[in-house]
Amino acid sequence: MNILAPIIACATCLPSQSTDIARASNMAILFMVAVVFSMFGVLLFVMLNFARKQRAHQELAS
C-alpha cells in the first residue's frame, strides 16, 4: 500500500501510514473510487445495450 499512498491522500489528510485511521481512510477512498467506476461501467453497459437494441429495431423496421 506504500506505492498508492501519495496518490490516495495528501499529507494533510494522511499524517502517518501506520495508524488505523490512515488505513481506514485509504480503504474508504478506494471504496468510493470503486463505486464510481462500477457505476460508470453499468452506465456504459446500459448505453451499449440500448444502442444494440435500437440498431436491431431499425434493421427489423426496414
Domain of residue 40 covers 5-61
Whole-structure pTM value: 0.63
Q: What is the pLDDT along the chain (62 residues), one digit of tens a residue?
A: 566 666 665 656 656 777 888 788 888 889 999 999 999 999 999 999 999 999 999 999 87
| Short-list 44, 26, 47, 46, CA closest to 36 | 44
Predicted pLDDT of residue 22: 78
* Structural domains in the chain (count): 1
Dihedral sign from CA coordinates of 26, 28, 29, 35:
positive
